[in-house]
């Protein structure tokens, strides 16, 4: 696992049916590329060249052959776990894990736990297409721009002298990749008679230049057209370039101008040029449709700079062990998604946590809202606030906030005049009958797409039973990254994993 995402860790979330079909009246009208605008074309219209600026934003000025090769993988399912995607190499988890998360979101609403292993291959393909469509719906600005490969039989063999679509030629382009691949499915569909010639003793090899010369996009106005396209051309997702083609589809559908407007540093590439991992902006784009670079709620003013975070409750959550290490602060919108599915971040990889317990994402009780608001004014997590900000807390909670009343409450909550107000005293005064929406025990399942990170080197879900302890004291265990990450969401959680094997975050 040689991924190494940066430790720094989204909003047109349409209400979609589980078929993945977009609701009417949600498309925008903003052009999304600095190049000359192209009018929306009907399905099946002439293909168009992918923006070279998109490629530069994604990879930076130069694409290293070994980084590019790690991204050459399609979407495929585990032999042991029908609905679990397999990740071959480090790097593409920033695409594969969000797709897996949306797939599980759909599956959790359709199927009980015991039926997961009974899913057919056709059903899992349908789930994958639905997940892809839901991600694209969040990224759409005007039309869907589905990126595919031009005639696979015309692929450039070996290194190319033409660098027009990558910006700069690979210095090591002449090296033979360690894992060559042939898009034989594409070739068979487009020119069946030439398939034998394409897959002979000297098979074609994808280089970055060859790939960028071949990719084109076609425009679709509605998500049902996209769903139909992928159903009829599933190889676009499953063949060797499937993950990359989806990534470019997301970027083209979102549009360069929109992506740049949401990023803090447009000069920073979305894929790390050395490690091949995706930036937090790319992770957020895949999960929420917005390429913002941070994981806190809304905007924060840092030294006079407005730094953008997550602006509404997400369909899929995000938690990370990096928060415990104080590299970032994950906000309420990510920790409390609409569905009990969270992408989990370690320092090297992305995995997915999910549960059948819908009460984990039930609406907040008034007491839980009060705790969340209180902590907004307690950024250090010390469980107290300065006395002078009590009025701000009461205003935010829409409680009585007249100066005379606030002063009375301040003296009552701080009888020793220490200048601080404790969380427990605040809750006892304003929410004495506080109730919890979260159950004390619930099931958890964990997905890691890398075979070597799974028991028996086979991708399958790890199952555990969680319990929330009756304590306000967090038991930190630095040697257990899984527990450390879970405690950023549930501070008092303990989990008994099946077989006493704690799943790996890496």
Catalytic residues: 93, 349
Contact 126, 15 (CB under 8 A): no
Contact 155, 202 (CB under 8 A): no
Contact 140, 234 (CB under 8 A): no
Cα torsion 5, 11, 14, 18 to 10°: value is: 10
Other CB atoms closer than 10 Å to residue 79's CB: what's the count?
A: 11
CA 85 to the chain's CA centroid: 15
How many Å apart are CA 490 and CA 402, to the nearest integer?
35
Cα torsion 269, 273, 277, 279 to 10°: value is: -20
How many Å apart are CA 156 and CA 211, to the nearest integer?
8
Contact residues for 175 (Cβ-Cβ < 8 A; gap 6+): 65
Sheet holding 48-49, edge to edge: 48-49, 215-220, 144-149
Angle, helices 242-254/121-139, rounded to nearest 10 degrees = 30
**CA distance from start to end of the chain:** 7
Contact residues for 370 (Cβ-Cβ < 8 A; gap 6+): 397, 426, 427, 430, 431
SS3 278: strand
How many Å apart are CA 53 and CA 415, to the nearest integer?
62
Q: What sections of 146-233 are H helices per DSSP?
A: 184-190, 195-198, 208-214, 223-232
């Amino acid at each position: 696992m040689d991924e190494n995402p940066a430790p720094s860790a989204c909003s047109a979330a349409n209400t979609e049916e589980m078929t993945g079909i977009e609701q009417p009246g949600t498309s925008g009208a903003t052009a999304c590329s600095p190049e000359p605008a192209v009018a929306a074309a009907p399905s099946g219209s002439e293909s168009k060249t992918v923006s070279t600026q998109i490629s530069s934003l994604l990879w930076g000025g130069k694409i290293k052959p070994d980084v590019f090769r790690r991204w050459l993988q399609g979407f495929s399912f585990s032999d042991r776990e029908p609905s679990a995607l397999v990740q071959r190499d480090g790097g593409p988890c920033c695409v594969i894990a969000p797709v897996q998360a949306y797939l599980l979101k759909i599956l959790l609403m359709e199927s009980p736990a015991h039926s997961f292993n009974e899913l057919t291959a056709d059903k899992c393909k349908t789930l994958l297409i639905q997940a892809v469509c839901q991600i694209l719906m969040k990224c759409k600005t005007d039309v869907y721009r589905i990126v595919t490969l031009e005639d696979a039989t015309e692929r450039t063999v070996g290194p190319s002298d033409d660098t027009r679509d990558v910006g700069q030629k690979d210095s090591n382009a002449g090296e033979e990749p360690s894992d060559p691949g042939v898009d034989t499915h594409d070739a068979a569909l487009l020119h069946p008679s030439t398939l034998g010639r394409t897959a002979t003793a000297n098979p074609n090899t994808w280089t970055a230049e060859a790939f960028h010369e071949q990719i084109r996009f076609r425009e679709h106005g509605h998500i049902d057209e996209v769903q139909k396209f992928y159903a009829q051309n599933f190889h676009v997702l499953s063949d060797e370039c499937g993950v990359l083609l989806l990534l470019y589809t997301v970027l083209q559908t979102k549009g360069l101008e929109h992506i740049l407007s949401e990023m803090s540093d447009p000069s920073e590439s979305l894929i790390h040029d050395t490690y091949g991992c995706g930036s937090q902006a790319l992770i957020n784009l895949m999960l929420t449709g917005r390429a913002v670079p941070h994981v806190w709620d809304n905007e924060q003013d840092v030294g006079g700079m407005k730094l953008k975070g997550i602006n509404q409750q997400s369909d899929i959550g995000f938690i990370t062990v990096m928060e415990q290490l104080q590299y970032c602060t994950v906000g309420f919108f990510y920790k409390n998604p609409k569905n009990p599915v969270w992408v989990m971040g370690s320092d090297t990889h992305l995995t997915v946590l999910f549960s059948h317990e819908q009460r984990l994402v039930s609406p907040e009780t008034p007491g839980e809202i009060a705790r969340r608001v209180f902590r907004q004014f307690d950024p250090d997590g010390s469980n107290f606030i300065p006395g002078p900000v009590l009025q701000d807390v009461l205003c935010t909670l829409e409680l009585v906030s007249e100066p005379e009343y606030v002063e009375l409450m301040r003296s009552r909550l701080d009888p020793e005049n220490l200048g601080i107000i404790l969380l427990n005293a605040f809750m006892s005064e304003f929410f004495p009958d506080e109730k919890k929406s979260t159950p004390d025990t619930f099931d958890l399942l964990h997905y890691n797409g890398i075979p070597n990170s799974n028991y028996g080197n086979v991708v399958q879900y790890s199952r555990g039973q969680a319990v929330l302890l009756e304590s306000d004291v967090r038991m930190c265990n630095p040697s257990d990254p899984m527990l450390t990450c879970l405690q950023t969401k549930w501070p008092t959680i303990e989990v008994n994993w099946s077989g006493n094997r704690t799943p790996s975050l890496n």
